[in-house]
Amino acid sequence: MTHWTRCRKPASILMTVVLFFSVATTGVFGFGTTRVQAQEPAPEQAEASVQAASPEETRFLQLYNQLKDPSNGYFSPEGIPYHSVETLMSEAPDYGHMTTSEAYSYWLWLEVLYGHYTGDWSKLEAAWDNMEKYIIPVNEGDGKEEQPTMSYYNPNSPATYAAEYSQPDRYPSQLSGQYAAGRDPLDAELKATYGNNQTYLMHWLLDVDNWYGFGNLLNPSHTATYVNTFQRGEQESVWEAIPHPSQDDKSFGKPGEGFMTLFTKENQAPAAQWRYTNATDADARAVQAMYWAKELGYDNEVYLNKAEKMGDYLRYGMYDKYFQQIGSAADGSPAAGTGKNASHYLMAWYTAWGGGLGQSGNWAWRIGASHAHQGYQNVVAAYALSDPDGGLIPDSPTAGQDWDTSLKRQLEFYTWLQSAEGAIAGGATNSWDGAYKAYPAGTSTFYGMAYDDAPVYHDPPSNNWFGMQAWPVERIAELYYILASKGDTSSENFRMAKQVVTKWIDWSMDYVFVDQKPVTDADGYYLDEQGNRVLGGQNPQIATVSAPGDFWIPSNLEWEGQPDTWNGFGNHTGNPGLRAVTKNPGQDTGVLGSYIKALTFFAAATKAENGSYTPLGGEAEQLAKSLLDTAWGHNDGVGITKPEARADYYRYFTKEIYFPAGWSGKSGQGNTIPGTNTVPSDPAKGGNGVYASYSDVRPDIKNDPAWSYLEDKYNTSWNPQTQKWENGAPEFTYHRFWSQVDMATAYAEYDRLINGGGGGPVEPVAPKAPGNLKAVPGDAQVSLTWSKSSGADSYTVKRAETSGGPYTNVATISETSYVDLDVVNDTTYYYVVSAANEVGSSPDSVEVSAKPTEAPTPVEGDLKLQYRTNDTNPDDNQIRAQFRIVNTGEESVALSDVKLRYYFTVDGDQAQQFHCDYAVIGSGKVTGSFVKLNESKDGADYYLEVGFTSDAGTLAPGADTGDIQVRFNKADWSNYSEADDFSYDGTKTAYADWERVPLYLNGSLVWGLEP
């Protein structure tokens, strides 16, 4: 059984943006799929000729080939990785066939590990070349200057101040110069080192197929076009952003103004200009990948030097937005920086730069960012760029020292932000509210910066997504491994890295499950076995239900309190006042990949430090293995993925995108924006203008192959009054490039670090006994199911007529279910199952029994009952059922005359509570009452009678009631045992006629069976 058990716990616990992203079956793409055939062999399918030495290596190479297979559609005709194979998508990129610097950095990581396994490093170099050509806006040798006026930049006056605001409605922001910018201390040494100051960093967002239609103004031979979105404060989500060209000569947007006047305003019309924004974590990941390439034997100095140069310019991400002194604005009076005193030495959310176009374009500007998010820090990149053993120290004279300071500062940052549970809180800012306001009294500080639980964006809060935990802590686990492997086990940097990652791993493993699904309430809170919310704390006992073949990891967190003001590692308190509540188990495969790598590097680090795995390291390694094995079962031939319910997609249709009064212009798709189909803006948000919708601004989205599905779902399911999807949210199956690379590299890193890097086959072992064996009797048959045993090739079903045997082998099969037809009614049979592979057989499973009986003939009338359930654990503290009543007759039926009965055993008689969680007709119109049978029946001593109120309406001929979702529990939340309940069938996960829930019309049985 591939569940995860943390044996060291007191009881056995089953385990299991603005810029960046939140998160399939049998080879079928989900809605929104658009395949694009690459015209050149740059991202061709790279068939690996190396004989794989382990399942993990084999799977890495299979995923690699899936990603590179042109028919799967991951790459554009120019060889650029799309954000997603599918197109109808709205997250950081608001269209699936855009891409990000994030995707490029993941591509490099993929090719590094491919080079490790095959010795072919040409794919890594080709990826860097493509990155340099299409998303690093420099003259890559084709004579096209993509930063044409950077040489006019004045480092003593980097940019003109404009305040940030809490709502997009308050934009454009006046370029006021209220606070004079400080001095840029890097420009002179970068010019001296490289001969110019053209920034060697990626712009974060690329319209790969020129879907927006703006075109690449400075390099027209490229289809891919630099665009941007988020520009209007912390509340601006992807649903409120206005896409615009990064090279704006005013051909689009408002006549004479372009798009600039949506974001900033001046005393005259804005000049034509170019402007780029860098996401620091993506470039840091590119450096991180090149560090590992070097460690794994890559030695081409040409490309290693490019990584060093990228790291040199990446230091701009360490600076306050307007180069103000760090901490100087605590009282609301910022002071201009005079050098490195404007550096917080962290990876800020972005850095940006730009300049003029045309005859009057002899100017340029540069800004850093005042907000530092924990999710963007990269201690491996800092190590590589600062330590001689890291081997990538840039050429500029102060770069190595800056990165050395940054490495320690980042580790201190994580220590400062770690909650009492182990999760990492948001970050810090040097500019409160984006306007250098005075810090609120009592605000915790870090080197003078104010604590911020959700830096940068608030829709949704920037630190509620578990991915923002897994991404950076995986890098800390890498550093722990690097330092331990090199014998550095006593430095303060080592001690901080080890402490942070150990506590985080210990916390996170409590909320990760394999083959089991954690029980949550309607608001996504984990529940314990008593049905109480788990609101943080140490070693929580999470209730679970069986979910064979599935994995569950956290999706979101909530935060309380703040860390104590930082006063050095030696004085760290452990932050008793900073608490995290873990919520919303999910199945984000990309985050899963990063999480597995965190487990893997942590486990390997404990072994490198101690000579063998620590107990926690051993648990981490085993969990990583279980997750990898389980994830592979969700590979649909294109990648590893799970369907997603996108509850936020109603926002495609709502009017949320703010345009100031009088602003009207032309988009690249040919429409006038905002157009006439708008609504007045909300004065309470501080603006005077109108709101348009996503499709008003981007009308070509209506041509997407998945649009009709989404639109129909919206029209038939979304209730604007309740703000709920009454008939279920739209579901999509996405193949995100970064997500697939995260999974592919998880297999490779596990193989490299745990299996020895493909140095030979792992010695196989016999499987463990199958778990969760269930036997359901039928008419002259018994249906058996069990959980998969890791490493099993086959299963043997054994039967006896006496408990304890002797058993007779009934069948040997490869599946995890079997229907025994060689039985007779009214005889009790006893079953066990064993697993086997080439090494040997497992012990027998726990015994179960079943007594097949002749099925009575059900009553059939003009009504019938359909049933399904997602309650696949028959031994938990709630019974959940979903019903649909169908009128097959020729006359309407008043629902108030109809009742259904669900028969069950109470397993400990006491008061019970009924809940209708959802009904198409309205949950308030559904009633439930419990009736105890005078005499217990086979599978029942109670029934739940579900009825309808007088205002529930009628059921027309041929119609059905739609979903009726109910659940019930005992007052003390003790468990039921449903396996033998008359009306329960855990295999019915889709609606089907079910005679064991009888229907009554005016008190007479008209459908089904009574026990």
Which of 94, 164, 207, 281 is catalytic? The answer is 281
CA distance linking residue 339 with residue 323, whole number of Å? 8
Nearest to 264 by CA among 179, 369, 177, 387: 177
Q: Which residues pair with 433 in a beta bridge?
A: none
Query: Can you give the three-state secondary structure of 757-810, one letter per residue?
Result: CCCCCCCCCCCCCCCCCEEEECCCCEEEECCCCCCCCEEEEEEECCCCCCCEEE
Helix/strand/coil (H/E/C) assignment for every residue in 337-387? CCCHHHECCCCECCEEEEEECCCCCCCEEEECCCEEEHHHCCHHHHHHCCC
Q: Which two tokens stand for residue 654?
A: 């709502």
Produce one character per residue of 1-39: b if its CB has 16 or more CB atoms within 10 Å, e if not. bbbbbbeeeeeebbbbbbbbbbbbeeeebbbbbbebebe
- How many Å apart are CA 492 and CA 572, to the nearest integer? 13
Query: Cβ(417)–Cβ(476) under 8 Å?
Result: no
Provide the H-helix boundaries in 40-100.
Answer: 55-68
Q: Catalytic annotation on 102?
A: yes
- Helix and strand numbers, DSSP H then E, in the chain: 15, 46
Q: What is the distance between the alpha carbons of residues 589 and 598, in angstroms, rounded to a whole number?
A: 14
Burial class (CB in 10 A: 0-12, 13-18, 19+), 712: exposed
**Count of positions (residues) in the chain:** 1011
Name the DSSP letter for residue 93. Answer: S
Nearest to 553 by CA among 476, 630, 497: 630
Q: Helical H runs in 329-398?
A: 379-384
What does the block give as tokens for 896? 């108030």
Nearest to 403 by CA among 395, 393, 412, 411: 393
Amino acid at site 591: V
Contact 83, 97 (CB under 8 A): yes
Q: Which residues share a beta bridge with 364?
A: 355
- Between strands 912-919 and 992-993, the pairing is unpaired
Catalytic residue check, 281: yes
What stretch of H or E contains 189? Answer: helix 187-194
CA dist., res. 145 & res. 936, Å (int): 85
CA distance 627 to 595: 10
d(C-alpha 223, C-alpha 700), whole Å = 18
Closest CA to 601 of 581, 614, 588, 617: 617
Active-site choice (102, 234, 412, 871):
102
786 φ, ψ to 5°? Answer: -155, 170
Q: Are 346 and 283 a contacting pair, CB within 8 Å?
A: no
Q: What sign does the dihedral 597-599-600-606 (CA atoms) show?
A: positive
CB 836 within 8 A of CB 842: yes
Rounded Cα distance between 476 and 377, Å, is 9
Q: At what angle do helices 492-509 and 615-632 cross, to 10 degrees?
A: 50
What is the C-alpha to C-alpha distance for residues 949 and 933, in angstroms, rounded to an integer?
A: 24
Separation between Cα atoms, residue 20 and residue 373, nearest integer Å: 12
> Of 695, 474, 510, which is closest to residue 602 (Cα–Cα)?
474
Q: For residue 400, give the nearest of 387, 386, 390 by alpha carbon.
A: 386
Structure tokens at 263: 């974001």
Residue 506, C-beta contacts closer than 8 angstroms, at least 6 positions apart: 422, 616
Residues marked as catalytic? 102, 281
